[in-house]
Amino acid sequence: MEIVYGREWYMTGNELDLEKVTKGWKQKMERALNGGHAGLRLSAGTAWLDKRDWKEFCEYEKEVNDSILDTPMLALCTYPLPGSAAAEILDVTRTHQFAIARRNKGWEVVETSELKQAKAEILRLNNDLELRVVERTRQLTAANEELRRQMSERQRAEDALRHAQGELARVTRVTSMGELAASIAHEVTQPLTGIVTNGNACLHWLASAPPNVEKARTTVERIIRDSNRASEVIRDIRALVKKTQPHHEPVALNDLIHRTLTLASGETTRHQVEIQTVLAADLPSVLGDRVQLQQVLLNLIINAVEAMSTITGRPRVLTIQSERREAPEVVSITVRDCGVGLDPQRAERLFDAFFTTKPEGMGMGLSICRTIISAHGGHLSNANNADRGATFEFTLPAYVETPEHVDIATA
């Protein structure tokens, strides 16, 4: 706190020196700020002021009022009411942000028009802001609802698409099963014939005196083996044709390749195709739907057989290879033929739905294969071989058993 004498502070000699005063307040404020204070609060009376200087003083007051608006300075100016003329009171209210007057034992705010205007403006801005907040909230709520609606619609569309894809895959499986029916029937008839032959032989060994139990046992073992083979084929066909929800389980692809070749063996035999398999012994399983993956294999095998059906004068060889690849760990399956090969200009279109070059073809096979492999997190591609024919390859992420998986499996 600092007290200065009015006359000394405001006057130089007998004259008001308001420039000195304005500078003086500024210096004091800077000192206060440098001293770590929040600002300057000053209070001044006007008892020392001569009447003749009133007008000039009022101009100074207005200037100070305007110049301290943006500064951390607050001025409380006091004026004695008794003896003040109405004009003087008006001057005071005009030159300050607001005035408070002691009347009827209480304090009253004497509002200046500027203050009134500012308050009205603040009120208007507040109302305006509130309206804008309400409007913006309404817009955001509407946008949010629209987004939610779109999301659930999209979810519904995705579900419907998945369902339609599943249904389409099943229908194509049923169709290709129909096409394969004759050769599949042959595949089942063969073990059945074996069973009858071995059954007769067994009866013969049992009827001989003494019964040859050892030979009878061998024939029964063959009967069991053939029955299992027939059941396996029927199980696979039923699974391929049946309407079931896809479900994921660890699938051993080498085993699936063997079983699929059995299913297709009618076709491969009919077209005199020689089968070669190069299967990796350490092939990890993949996590997937065994029926869908069998559909992919069957489709690639049948396509390869068909691509070689017109080949004459050289062996028709179909090679299926399984491989383990590192970083990232994937399983790769290639189906290679030495048939007519791919037209390089149409190599990508083969995966389009309904693209076929066969008179009886449906053109859905490869499109569905790609959908299935993609849904399993894998990739299906094709290329022409350097010599003859084409190779289709699909890769799938290897299923690495973690300790948790083992726990669940053994729990």
**Binding site residues, ligand ADP, CB under 6 A:** 299, 303-304, 307, 337, 339-340, 342, 350, 355-358, 361-367, 390
Residue 356 C-beta: closest distance to ligand ADP, Å:
3
Please, what is the minimum distance in Å from the beta carbon of residue 333 to ligand ADP? 14
Q: Which is nearer to ligand ADP, 303 or 319 (CB)?
A: 303
Identify which of residues 64 and 301 has a Cβ nearer to ligand ADP in the complex. 301
CA 218 to chain centre: 60
- 3-class secondary-structure state, position 367: helix
Q: Which residue is nearest to ligand ADP (CB)?
A: 365
275 pairs with which residues across the strands? Answer: 318
Q: Which is nearer to ligand ADP, 112 or 299 (CB)?
A: 299
**Least Cβ distance, residue 366 to ligand ADP (angstroms):** 3
330-336, strands of its sheet edge to edge? 273-279, 316-325, 330-336, 390-397, 379-384
Nearer to ligand ADP, 46 or 391 (CB): 391
DSSP assignment of 192-209 = HHHHHHHHHHHHHHHHSS
Minimum distance from residue 372 beta carbon to ligand ADP (Å): 12
- Whichever of 190 and 356 has its CB closer to ligand ADP, that residue is 356
Which CB atom, from 285 or from 292, has the smaller least distance to ligand ADP? 292
Nearer to ligand ADP, 45 or 178 (CB): 178
Q: Exposed, middle or buried by CB within 10 Å (0-12, 13-18, 19+), for 128? A: exposed
Per-residue b or e along 213-229, where b marks 16 or more CB atoms closer than 10 Å to that residue's CB: eeebeebeebbeebeeb
What residues are paired with 109 via a beta bridge? 100
Please state the closest distance from residue 381 (CB atom) to ligand ADP, in A: 12
- Helix, strand, coil proportions of the chain in percent (round to 5)? 55, 15, 25
Report, in Å, the least distance between residue 242 CB and ligand ADP: 22
For 387, counting Cβ atoms within 10 Å of its Cβ (0-12 exposed, 13-18 middle, 19+ buried), the class is exposed
CB 343, min distance to ligand ADP, A: 8
| Chain center to CA of 299 | 32
Name the residue nearer to ligand ADP (CB basis): 11 or 342. 342
- Whole-number minimum distance, CB 300 to ligand ADP, in Å? 7
Nearest residue (CB) to ligand ADP, 83 versus 359: 359
CB of 172 to ligand ADP, least distance (A): 9
Q: How far is 92 from 76, CA to CA, in rounded Å?
A: 12
Instruction: Round to whole Å and give the CA distance between 299 and 361.
Output: 12
- CA separation (Å) from 202 to 218, 224, 230, 344? 8, 12, 19, 58
| β partners of residue 44 | 77
* Choice between 246 and 363, CB closer to ligand ADP: 363
Three-state SS at 223: helix
| Nearest distance from C-beta of residue 317 to ligand ADP, angstroms | 13
Tokens of 67: 């110049």
Between CA 198 and CA 138 the distance in angstroms is 82
